[in-house]
Amino acid sequence: MAAKLERAWRPSGVVSLLTDFGLVDPYVGVMHGVILAGAPRARVVDLTHGVPAQDIAVAAFYLERSWKYFPVGSVHLAVVDPGVGSDRRILAVSHGGHIFLAPDNGLLTAFCADATWVRSLDIERFSLAERSRTFHGRDVFAPTAARLVEGLDPRELGPVCDDPELRPIGGPRRISERAVEAHVLLVDRFGNLVTDLRAVDLEGSASQWVARVGERRIPILATYSDARAGELIALVDSFGCVELAVVKGSAARRLALSPGAKVRFERT
């Protein structure tokens, strides 16, 4: 990774949290408490706690498409951590004036490639005095975020890491000049099937393409209101990805598809 010009760290006071913890248990609230105990001026934003359990790919997808809407100087905690309690490292990545903290499991792949620096967190130094083996969100990530909000120089977080774990980046596959094969990345709470096909990957206008699932040919429309209730459509979502939806219904249920399923897109 090439060295980049580093701006002086000026914490905004904002800490974003992304986890697979859900909101039924007290885990998220406890993380808030630890951050605020160490940095009373912090403003904690719950980006999402609805990542499917241990789904690193979905966590990365959400973080990669959300961080730029936060002010420079923000700290982003991404705690989707199947290896918690093992000897896996915790990474701190400086990217675009933001600091990202996540397990070294590929979650920060997109940020490592263009990072100012990547460091391996000194866990012993920055964790709570009594550290559990199963809740590093509370005992390591949260107190470290508090220290950064209070002005800790991020370069003190630990030694430079030259070999972060990188996740293979998949994506749509061009089948022919007029056909692309994509994959379902996730199912959102509305039952929409979000694919890894971006609108910018399509030649010409998205409206010139259709999604094909089995014998179904699904048009790409501009908005949900361009179709009637119950109709199956495709559209470009707010992340710039093409998703399949049923107006006032569930595409996942209608098509019986789940993450990893293939969807073919054809130019009309």
- Domain hosting 135: range is 14-156
Residue 239 lies in a domain: yes
Rounded to whole angstroms, the Cα distance separating 45 from 35 reads 11
- The domain tally of the chain equals 2
DSSP assigned state of 138: I
pLDDT score for 2: 44
Domain end, chosen from 125, 156, 187, is at 156
Q: For residue 167, tell me if it sits in a domain.
A: no
Model confidence at 208, in pLDDT bands (50, 70, 90)?
very high
Q: How many CB atoms lie within 10 A of CB 167?
A: 15
What one-letter code names the amino acid at 40?
Answer: P
CA dist list (Å): 108 to 65, 80, 101, 118, 195: 12, 11, 8, 10, 20
pLDDT of residue 1: 46
Do 152 and 178 belong together in one domain?
A: no
CB 181 within 8 A of CB 173: yes
Residue 143 lies in a domain: yes
CB 185 within 8 A of CB 64: no
Q: By CB neighbour count within 10 A (0-12 exposed, 13-18 middle, 19+ buried), where does 267 fall?
A: middle
Percent of the chain exceeding pLDDT 90 equals 89
DSSP letters, 16-77, are EEEES--SSSSHHHHHHHHHHHH-TT-EEEEEES-SPTT-HHHHHHHHHTTGGGSPTT-EEE
Q: What torsion do the CA atoms of 24, 102, 111, 45 make, to the nearest 10 degrees?
A: 40
CATH of the domain at 263: 2.40.30.90
State which H helix or E strand residue 147 sits in: helix 142-149
**Domain's final residue, options 156, 183, 204:** 156
Q: Identify whether residues 141 and 236 lie together within a single domain.
A: no
H or E segment and range at residue 243: strand 241-246
Residue 4: the pLDDT is 62
Q: Are residues 152 and 19 in the same domain?
A: yes
Neighbours of 40 (CB within 10 A): 10
Confirm if 192 and 251 have CB atoms less than 8 A apart.
Answer: yes
Tell me, yes or no, whether 236 lies in a domain: yes
Give the strand pairing for 262-267 and 209-213. antiparallel
Distance (Å, whole) CA 105 – CA 78:
11
Contact 110/57 with Cβ under 8 angstroms?
no
Shared domain for 39 and 77, answered yes or no, is: yes
For residue 258, pLDDT over 80 is answered with yes
Residue found under tokens 């109709």: 231
Residue 230 lies in a domain: yes
pLDDT at 57 over 90: yes
Residues 6+ apart with CB under 8 A from 2: none
Q: 45 with 140, same domain?
A: yes
What span, in angstroms and rounded, lies between the C-alpha atoms of 152 and 138? 19
Return the C-alpha torsion angle 25, 16, 154, 86, nearest 10: 30
Residue 15: name the closest of 54, 46, 51 by CA: 46
Q: What is the mean pLDDT of the chain?
A: 94
For residue 107, give the 3-state DSSP assignment. Answer: coil
pLDDT single digits (tens) 103-158: 999 999 999 988 999 999 999 999 999 999 999 999 999 999 999 999 999 999 99
Q: What CATH number is attached to the domain comprising 111?
A: 3.40.50.10790
